[in-house]
Structure 1
């Protein structure tokens, strides 16, 4: 990619967007368009249209979305569907009209059917119903990915998509109401350790399995895709390795140094039984992850201690 090119990163204040910005700047890309929610409401069609047609970026990376864990998805499905459809439709359509050279849409591995064969290959999309606990978010992401495919075919424009696995790392969301599983467990076990709580209760049986990719690896993959990928077929982005939620909880317990018991509440939903990506297509194309899970978990906890624990925990 031309390092002088204008690149718009939508959602740059989030964990993924922030990591992408850091990576781009490290690689010498300084002509970055960045707008906070207060500066640009991505759910407002006119504002997005005016911004993209005025700025005319050469590349757009869409990592803006309303996100959350199982509890948030189950509590606010209408908001998850509406807001994500609005954001991505505005960005994709007006990027097309603005003549963007490459548009990269970031989806989610939750788009795959609940009973999907494992590991999940790109061609398994829509061969069954999505997991009910994240259905609204999944439908929105499927729609965004399909719109990029149709623009690729109909207009001959390089509108591409990637579907990351579960992302974690520095700058993650540690809010107890909306966080995903790794930041949620890190915070809860840290708090339990501080007060000497005898147990930590975890939703589900602990038997469901998940794959995790460090956010810096995802940023690396995004930059690689912008420079190398020209096909309408979306690509899975992950490690190809998964762990059970029980094993994950035990690793986090060890990392935090919490000595109490882990209690799994089987009356609460597990989500998909297994969610592991087949990343052979991406490996064949030329990209591999670099950060091991133990290293990534350690870095995430260190960031939490330095940036969240002292300011927010137990206040």
Structure 2
């Protein structure tokens, strides 16, 4: 992948895609092909095939996906499995048909079995039952990985798959209803601070442990893999360290400057008990993350204050979901 390669970043307005776009532009890649959802509906097979036939794409980073936290996955599971299956099937197949040189497909740590041995090794995929709260999303993304591997074996298509840990950073979604844990906590502690709420309630016990990767580090890893990896096996991407949700909440409360209590709603689900990935396969290629968790949270909160913070305090006390 050269500076003048024609590169399609699918999902360039999302959390990961926008970070990848920043990194590519910063590195001097000058032929980036970008389409908004209005310009190209990736769930439309005919439109996607026509796009690839017309544009002469050489490399694809497939960061487009329908994503969300526990609440969104529980409420909109049908949307999650349908949209992700359509997006990835259309893009992977059209890319192969059009002669794309290399494609990077992004999975997620939540695709691993709920009770897989920790830390999660790549070989653990499909060895046990999935976490029920995100099963539709996980099944769809596992199908995408399997498709990449099958196209490599049958057609020689150079498709590689990366499995990021929980991502966060500039461009994240801070919707109280549908966001992931870390940005959701930032929003809820911020709202509680503005409202003068005496407490913020977390879903579950707070004991589940999660691994968080700053999204610009993920973008760096994507470019690293495009340059240095061509294998069939999936590759975990993360810092190799995790933190309990309760400890994360205390860290975010400190960064935000909220002084109220943290309480727990034990009637709500915890989700995966732990998701820490074995990242030795990636680390042996020479890649390491650069941004620590607390520094990443501070950067993310600064971005939130500038771009996404509500102008006024919420009218009612807020709660925080895991």
Provide TM-score, normalisation by structure 1: 0.98
- Paired position in structure 1 for 2:207: 207
Q: Distance in 1 between matches of 2:208 and 2:51?
A: 43
SS in 2 for 1:89: helix
Q: Distance in 1 between matches of 2:195 and 2:289?
A: 37
Q: Distance in 2 between matches of 1:289 and 1:311?
A: 34
1:292-307 paired onto structure 2 within 5 Å: 292-307=292-307
Following TM superposition, by how much is the alpha carbon of 1:36 offset from its aligned partner in structure 2, in angstroms?
Answer: 0.1
Following TM superposition, by how much is the alpha carbon of 1:310 offset from its aligned partner in structure 2, in angstroms?
Answer: 4.8
SS in 1 for 2:201: strand
- Paired position in structure 1 for 2:41: 41
- Paired position in structure 1 for 2:246: 246
Q: Distance in 2 between matches of 1:109 and 1:122?
A: 10
- Paired position in structure 2 for 1:135: 135
- Paired position in structure 1 for 2:319: none
Instruction: State which drifts further: 285-294 or 158-167.
Output: 285-294
Deviations 1:240-294 (A, max 9, x none): 1000000000001111111111011111000000001100000012211111111
Deviations 1:147-193 (A, max 9, x none): 00111111112111000000000111011111111111111111111
Q: Distance in 2 between matches of 1:211 and 1:31?
A: 34
- Paired position in structure 2 for 1:90: 90
1:241-280 paired onto structure 2 within 5 Å: 241-280=241-280
Query: Does residue 165 of structure 2 align to residue 172 of structure 1?
Result: no
SS in 2 for 1:99: coil
- Given that residues 211 and 241 in structure 2 are in contact (C-alpha distance below 8 angstroms), is that contact kept between their aligned partners in structure 1? yes
Q: Distance in 1 between matches of 2:283 and 2:191?
A: 39
RMSD (Å), alpha carbons: 1.0
SS in 1 for 2:211: strand
- Given that residues 194 and 313 in structure 2 are in contact (C-alpha distance below 8 angstroms), is that contact kept between their aligned partners in structure 1? no
- Paired position in structure 2 for 1:235: 235
Query: Does residue 32 of structure 2 align to residue 9 of structure 1?
Result: no
Q: Distance in 2 between matches of 1:55 and 1:231?
A: 26
Following TM superposition, by how much is the alpha carbon of 1:20 offset from its aligned partner in structure 2, in angstroms?
Answer: 0.2
1:267–1:151 CA distance, 2 compared to 1 (3 A): same
Provide TM-score, normalisation by structure 2: 0.96
1:198–1:129 CA distance, 2 compared to 1 (3 A): same
Runs of 4+ off more than 6 Å:
none
Query: Does residue 71 of structure 2 align to residue 81 of structure 1?
Result: no
Deviations 1:223-254 (A, max 9, x none): 11111111011100001100000000000111
Deviations 1:76-110 (A, max 9, x none): 11110000000000000000000000000011111
- Paired position in structure 2 for 1:190: 190
SS in 1 for 2:284: helix
Q: Distance in 1 between matches of 2:305 and 2:260?
A: 20
Instruction: State which drifts further: 282-291 or 11-20.
Output: 282-291
SS in 2 for 1:67: coil
Q: Distance in 2 between matches of 1:166 and 1:300?
A: 14
- Given that residues 168 and 213 in structure 2 are in contact (C-alpha distance below 8 angstroms), is that contact kept between their aligned partners in structure 1? yes
Unaligned runs of 5+ residues in structure 2 are: 316-322
Q: Distance in 2 between matches of 1:180 and 1:96?
A: 32
SS in 1 for 2:225: helix
1:88-167 paired onto structure 2 within 5 Å: 88-167=88-167
Query: Does residue 54 of structure 2 align to residue 54 of structure 1?
Result: yes
